[in-house]
Amino acid sequence: MEIENHIIKNIKFVNSPNFNERPENTKISLIVIHSISLPPNVYGNNYVEDFFMNKLIISDHDYFQEIQDMRVSSHLYIKRTGETIQFVPFNMRAWHAGESTYHGRANCNDFSIGIELEGTDHIPYTDCQYQVLAHIYRLLRQAYRIKNIVGHSDVAPGRKTDPGHSFLWSHFRAMI
């Protein structure tokens, strides 16, 4: 894998409409790990991609009515199989962290890269996801000189719980 023009080459790129410019002269310094499954606890479909593209068919599941007006995205989405999709170039601000703070700095979307893992707080992630995430982390760290990686729960405590207790930070840190 390599990054060219803020996009990882040789992976699927789907240009989400849910992004905007980062504030001028803002350096990327953080990676935020999330988890998502749509509908909740269901894997192996394309609903997350549809959600990030504002193309979710609301009638497909009752839960989708709750999220139908949300406009969100992440830079990357790593499925349980390890397949990775990029939705927003890294130099742009994806809408992933919402109201958030890291080390006294508000609006983490301004200075972070968001990576969604297909998963939930309580079901273990796959070895393949850890391997791909570790590889991508090393790639991003080199390209953008990123030093910190945290969970969504770390930047939005009390509001968010992902990636949850099922994400094995010690296992991931040993890989990087």
Which residues are identified as catalytic? 116
Q: Who's near 2: CB < 8 A, 6+ residues apart?
A: 8, 9, 139
Cα(32)–Cα(16) distance, integer angstroms: 18
Parallel/antiparallel/unpaired status of strands 7-8 and 101-102: unpaired
Backbone angles phi, psi at 48, to 5 degrees: -65, -45
What distance lies between CA 130 and its chain's CA centroid?
A: 14
- Calpha distance 2→76 (Å, rounded): 14
Question: Count of CB atoms within 10 A of residue 171's CB?
Answer: 12
Q: What whole-number distance in Å separates Cα of residue 161 and Cα of residue 31?
A: 16
DSSP state of 59: G
Q: Which of 37, 18, 39, 106 is nearest to 77 (CA)?
A: 37
